[in-house]
Structure 1
Amino acid sequence: MRLPAALATLAALAALAVLAGCATVAPTRAEVPLLRLPPASLGRTLSLQQQITVQFPSPQGEQTRDMIAMLEADAAHTRLAAVAGGQVLARIDWDGRDLRVTRAPWAPRELMPERILSDLQLSLWPVEAIQAALPDGWHVDATPAMRVLRYGDEVVAEVRYPDATTTLFTQRRDGYRLTIRTLQEEGKTP
């Protein structure tokens, strides 16, 4: 099963949505686990440029933000650069041991690189690797068109793949949605 490349960047925007003022997880619920899968467990290389639209609730009502994300992944590293307003918002480099993050001074403090990486892995890594890393009570259901992260019977996140270049990500707990469109994939043009 080939997943659309757009999923990779959904993680970046998921974190942006959280940092933009999304609700936090209630203390009575299990916290959403942070995946830390080795880059090699992806099982392939990626080089993508994606446009991401983030929709999230705020005290002023529903907000929408756009950004460009560039993702490179191979057996040794997962790298992501998020660009907003023509400037780099953040860079992430994960080698399986250390997560290195560079942020623009204007990047929101709530930006959570750990969540970006985890959402990226939830979207793109093999389901078997994800399931093996999840704590008790958590599981992933997957079909070629969708992935669903659950805690017991609660749907926490959904990833849908309506076509080969589009990914729709919904994080139900925090209320944000991402629409990710792959603009360019290594060796391909739009």
Structure 2
Amino acid sequence: MTLISSPLRVLLIPLMAIWLASCSTTVNTRHVTYLDHDFPFTLPDPVWTQKDKTVLQQVTLTRGGQRHNFNAILELKRERVKIALLDVTGGRAFDIDWTSSNLKVSKSDKIPDEIDGSLILAQIVLAFWPVEQVKKGLPVNVELEQTHSGRMLKNKNGTIMTIRSLGGNPWTSQSEILNRIHNVQFLISSNVSGGGK
């Protein structure tokens, strides 16, 4: 049975080739991202423990006076988390495929080197995943404090990251993440597809 018509296949194959030729891919089997040289963060396993959901996000990343805007689609399932980040033109900026065995990040060559897809994933997990899952992945020298408006990550030198939810439920409102290690600010507006929580 033919799932894709011949004319459409002729169109899709070159487009896929262009995307593959203009991106780089990294594979991480240890599921560890480094927010700093002494701040390894181990991503949760299983990757997702809640009800399956699809989330649409608008992500604004500001660093060094430079602002980058992305539209993100998150597909969250217990066995796999998939995230696609699109740039303002609708082109693929990042594809993130995260399972218990692999973390694969594909990045468009148009994206600056200093913007790391695995670090974007880590920020999203730190802000949105259940607190107990996040705590398990933190190094011993970092503490997570839950506040009435969000979360704070601290080490012996003080607060290194603040996460504020600007509404009651971060999955249906705007969140602000200030990463003092890299002097990066994220503004993430979220909406669960289909109106779920």
User: By the TM > 0.5 criterion, same fold?
Assistant: yes
What pairs with 1:10-89 in structure 2 (closer than 5 Å)? 31-57=38-64, 62-84=65-87, 85-89=89-93
Tell me the amino acid that sits aligned with residue 79 of structure 2. A
Structure showing greater relative contact order (alpha-carbon pairs closer than 8 Å, 6 or more residues apart) = 1
Q: What is the DSSP-based 3-state SS (H/G/I as helix, E as strand, rest coil) of the residue aligned with 1:187?
A: helix
The offset of 1:144, in angstroms, is 4.5
Q: Is the 8 A contact 1:140 1:147 kept in 2?
A: yes
CA distance in 1, matches of 2:78, 2:112: 30
One-letter amino acid matched to 1:159: I
- 1:177 equivalent to 2:185? Answer yes
Aligned to 2:96: 92
Amino acid of the structure 1 residue aligned with 2:70? M
Structure 1 or 2, whichever has the larger Rg, is 2
Between stretches 125-134 and 172-181, larger displacement belongs to 125-134
Distance 1:40-1:99 versus aligned 2 partners, 3 A rule: closer
Amino acid corresponding to residue 130 of structure 2 in structure 1? P
Relative distance call for 1:91 and 1:78 in structure 2 (3 A) is same
Q: Aligned with 1:118: secondary structure? A: helix
The code of the aligned residue for 2:58 comes to Q
Q: After TM superposition, give the deviation of residue 35 of structure 1 in Å.
A: 2.5
Residue type of the alignment partner of 1:35: T
Amino acid at match of 2:44: L
C-alpha RMSD over aligned residues: 2.2
Aligned-residue offset at 1:40: 4.5
Q: Distance in 2 between matches of 1:94 and 1:138?
A: 24
Cα distance in 2 between the residues matched to 1:111 and 1:65: 9
Q: 1:37-75, CA deviations, whole angstroms, 9 ceiling, x for partnerless residues?
A: 124554332311111222221xxxx22221111111110
* Match in the other structure for 2:175: 167
Partner of 1:187: 194
| Structure 2: gaps (5+ residues) | 1-34
Structure 2 counterpart of 1:96, which letter?
A: S
Identity %: 22
State the number of aligned residues. Answer: 157
- The list of structure 1 runs, each at least 4 consecutive aligned residues, that deviate by more than 3 angstroms after superposition, is 39-42
